[in-house]
Amino acid sequence: MTNNKLFKTSDVIYFYLSILAGLLTAHQININLILWIITGCLSLVFFVFFFKKSTRYILEQPSKKAARLALLLALFCIAASRATFQKSSAQNPFSNLITISSNETISITGYISRPPDVKTNRTYLRVEANPIHQGSVTQMKGTVLAISYRADHNFSYGDQVRLTGKISIINTENLSSYQKYLDSQDIDALMYSPAVETIAHDQGSRFLDGIYKIRKALLERVYQLYPAPENALIAGIILGDESKIAPDVEEDFQKTGTAHIIAISGANFAILTWLLLKLSKALFHRWWSPLVIIPLIFLYVLMTGSKSAIFRAAIMCSITIIGMTIGRSKSGVHSLLFSVCLIGMANPKSLLDISLQLSVMATLGILLFKNPLTSFLDHLFLRIRKLPDATRSFITNFVEEMLFISFSAQIFTIWISAAAFHQISVISLFVNFLITPFQSMIMLGGILSIAASLIFEPFGALIAGMVWIAPAYTIRIVQLCAGLPDASRYIVLTEKSAWLIIALILFLWIFRKNIFRWEKEKIIEKGLLFLFLFSAFVWKKALDQKDQRLKIVYSESSESQQFQIQTPAHQKILVASNISNYAAQNLLQERIFDVGTMRVVLFDFSEVWMKDSFLMNLEHPPDIIYLNGKPAPQKTDLINTVLPKITQGFEISTENINLSMPVAYLNRRGWMIAYQDMKIFIPMGVSVKTIQKLNREDVIEKTTVIVLGKNDNPEEWKNFIQNYSCRHGICNKFPFIIESEKNQDLEIYSNGFKLWLYDGKIH
């Protein structure tokens, strides 16, 4: 029995979920905008009809349920219409330059709209472009990210510059993971190694220019007060400047799952906000005290470079704080969903930004789990031993601030990070427990030392000397833990799987009181089901041991492409392009039930320094190693000859299996795998235009199967194969095109004459 109200106050959460579902669904499926609008309008008509009918009744009636469903469907369609409209109207402002040859040079004039990001070996300039000069001047506005491969400190916010070089337009129809990141940052094009000419200064906002100049002065003071590498860590934590952090230190933070400390990510921003919220309540003791930190949040966003992802996170956290301040505890979750819906309706593609996802899920984790964990700990102290109330309260508050906030944030975010970066740290919680208590000291002590040095520099240096121990301890602990065996592991987790795990955790938490009231028979049934699945897994691995076919596994992670060849005798050859040192180390780790022995490794690293770091940490090196096209130190007892460099024409053979490289251009290499009558070509980013430019169309004549990655254009390849194979009026046998599924491993088996395929599409 219910009252005459159609919706209860608590039902507003379904409104938010319907909007979010509509925004995300429109990104996954392509439905005409008109169809969404028509469906939404019909839903509103049904809602009005059933709502008027339901007002006649007090008790629950089918008409009330129909009205609710119609309204939720209407909200779903409205949100989907908004996302579809953005997709249909989205057009790169440089789209008319898409036909420019990759060798053609153009000039772009604009001003630097963000403080330059100066790394140790490169500089990133975000330029708001005005006219583009290509023959005649064409007025055009857009955002260009210029990447200069040297550390250049001569540029600043507001400088008007002219970029001259080759332009790479971001085509939103086929985005790589890096291009998705750039698209979420509203970047329209890239220019690598352009010539940069400064035309004028102070062309930006005076207010922002003042903020950035203050930030620059504060950074200089940090580098003066603290020695390296501690000064780089403090600059990253306080001001969001990660440019001076050494690559090996940054990698150790990533391996231990503590990168959120030095990076201004969504999860880190959420943790920082909650720490400030805790501090404001301790200082002011008023109901309005949380509202004090909202201006500080937006000031912090400006001081860290006004990144759009962090700005969205600031909006979300601010609305959540307002909801918690003027409402009850549940209002925090409602305010969080409301802010996400608001951001999503304003810019639907922002929901796909991993930084926003991390911020949302970190905040949700804190809202759901922090207080129950604190209550559980408090209850545990009461049961284990009697402590004075003051002591118990102090310990509980200390653990809450130093551990529970970070732990609650990671319950959801760890899966998103694992899917995005294919890594997961098994000691993350332990390392966070060791270093988190010192982060408040770094932040508060660092700010105090900077402020004191502005008044009287020796006094600031004295405070910095006392604070220095905290960042020094943090870095040493992270480095020590990063060296532990299996500190972090490579993991193949798709985005859908990550969100399925998150949904399962939410389901278990919401229905936790009912789930654990199982009867004994049901527990036995679930145990038998688990044993059956485990037995099936073991049998599969045992059958793999007896499989005498050639096996090729193709996969992609982040910007890296890789494939592994397993010979009939279970010897392995591993090839990877644009791979990170961390991912390379994990690919070579032996795992339980793993089949085969690694014999040959050919890695091309994304950064030059990773080569030496990889060799230093390699515990069980394969027989033959090639890094960035050159042979690395080999096992001298097995290889007594000098190995050649990898160039076009390179080949290596074992067990009647030949791996060769018929096509190479710049840092892209196409590989051919030959076994009996089967020849498999993997372009690894080599385009059709490159093959034609190098006059290597003959590769197609020798190929049985072509394996394309998610960034290759299958239509372009099909047209090329058809035109080449039928060039004399007689069509020869076409090679098959296998298109790998996104975020899935493609497995190909062959006995030399037949082919078996798993998780791929054949054209």
Inside any domain, residue 529: no
pLDDT on residue 682: 92
- Whether residues 72 and 216 share a domain: the answer is no
Instruction: Please report, for the domain that includes residue 616, its CATH number.
Output: 3.60.15
Q: pLDDT exceeding 90 applies to what percent of the chain?
A: 5
* Domain around 700: 548-762
Beta bridge partners of 537: none
Q: Look at residue 137 and tell me whether its pLDDT is greater than 70.
A: no
pLDDT on residue 575: 92
- Whether residues 242 and 391 share a domain: the answer is yes
pLDDT on residue 176: 47
Average the pLDDT over 432-448 and give the result: 76
Using N-to-C axis directions, what is the helix angle for 33-54 and 62-89, rounded to 10°?
A: 160
Inside any domain, residue 186: yes
- Domain termination residue (choose one: 89, 119, 140): 89
Average the pLDDT over 589-604 and give the result: 76
Residues 6+ apart with CB under 8 A from 265: 259, 355, 358, 359
- Whether residues 639 and 658 share a domain: the answer is yes
- Whether residues 439 and 485 share a domain: the answer is yes
Inside any domain, residue 415: yes
- Whether residues 659 and 744 share a domain: the answer is yes
Question: What is the Cβ-side half-sphere exposure of residue 349, based on CA atoms within 13 angstroms?
Answer: 17
Number of domains in the chain: 4
Inside any domain, residue 737: yes
Inside any domain, residue 735: yes
- Whether residues 608 and 735 share a domain: the answer is yes
Alpha-carbon distances of 169 from 30, 92, 114, 116, 146, rounded to whole Å = 23, 8, 20, 21, 12
Confidence of residue 638 (pLDDT cuts 50, 70, 90): very low
- Whether residues 498 and 639 share a domain: the answer is no
- Domain termination residue (choose one: 89, 108, 132): 89
Arithmetic mean of pLDDT over the chain: 77
Inside any domain, residue 524: no
- Whether residues 148 and 67 share a domain: the answer is no
Question: Which of 108-122, 199-213, 321-335, 466-480 has the least mean pLDDT?
Answer: 321-335
Q: pLDDT exceeding 70 applies to what percent of the chain?
A: 73
CA dihedral 538, 544, 546, 549 (to 10 degrees): 170
- Whether residues 253 and 399 share a domain: the answer is yes
Q: Are 346 and 79 in contact (CB under 8 A)?
A: no
* Phi–psi pair at 708, nearest 5 degrees: -105, 140
- Whether residues 102 and 45 share a domain: the answer is no
- Whether residues 591 and 448 share a domain: the answer is no
- Whether residues 618 and 693 share a domain: the answer is yes
pLDDT digits (tens, 9 = 90+) for 647-691: 888 888 887 888 999 988 877 889 999 998 889 999 988 888 888
Inside any domain, residue 171: yes
pLDDT digits (tens, 9 = 90+) for 24-40: 888 777 788 898 899 98
Q: Is the pTM of this model over 0.75?
A: no
Instruction: Please report, for the domain that includes residue 113, its CATH number.
Output: 2.40.50.140
Inside any domain, residue 372: yes
- The pair of three-digit structure tokens given for residue 646, joined into one six-digit string: 């990898």
Beta bridge partners of 119: none
Which run of H or of E encompasses 23?
helix 12-28
